[in-house]
Amino acid sequence: NAGVTQTPKFRILKIGQSMTLQCAQDMNHNYMYWYRQDPGMGLKLIYYSVGAGITDKGEVPNGYNVSRSTTEDFPLRLELAAPSQTSVYFCASSYHGLEAFFGQGTRLTVV
């Protein structure tokens, strides 16, 4: 079972570049989330989606965009990367919030 798949696992970006972090789940979950994890700070919610075509901001949405055109996919777009976006990014999904399943994370460094 694949579960939640994130790509890439590692990426180095230059300041001002853009990129998309991919997330796909094969569990037919309606809820999907993006979190970022900074050292010593726990995980913070960037964006979430309650179903295809519906997204909403979390605690730290600035500098990011998301879309949800299908139930399976929930990509996170970084425009004009900044050093403050250096972090580990986690995608997660759940069925009505019963239990969140996480991807293995993407370590992003902006230099």
Partner 1 sequence: AQTVTQSQPEMSVQEAETVTLSCTYDTSESDYYLFWYKQPPSRQMILVIRQEAYKQQNATENRFSVNFQKAAKSFSLKISDSQLGDAAMYFCAYRSASVNSGYALNFGKGTSLLVTP
Binding footprint of partner 1 on the chain (CB under 8 A): 31, 33, 35, 40-45, 48-50, 56, 58-59, 88, 90, 92, 94, 96-97, 99-100, 102, 104-105
Minimal distance, residue 43 CB to partner 1, in Å:
4
* Residue number, 43 or 52, with CB nearest to partner 1: 43
Helix (H) or strand (E) holding 64: strand 64-66
Minimal distance, residue 38 CB to partner 1, in Å:
10
What gap in Å lies between CA 79 and CA 76, rounded to an integer? Answer: 10
* Residue number, 85 or 93, with CB nearest to partner 1: 93
Minimal distance, residue 69 CB to partner 1, in Å:
18
Measured in whole angstroms, how far is the alpha carbon of residue 11 from the centre of its chain? 14
Helix (H) or strand (E) holding 37: strand 31-37
Q: Apex CA 50: angle with CA 8 and CA 64, to 5°? A: 45
Minimal distance, residue 45 CB to partner 1, in Å:
5
What gap in Å lies between CA 48 and CA 93, rounded to an integer? Answer: 9
* Residue number, 14 or 28, with CB nearest to partner 1: 28
Beta bridge partners of 5: 24
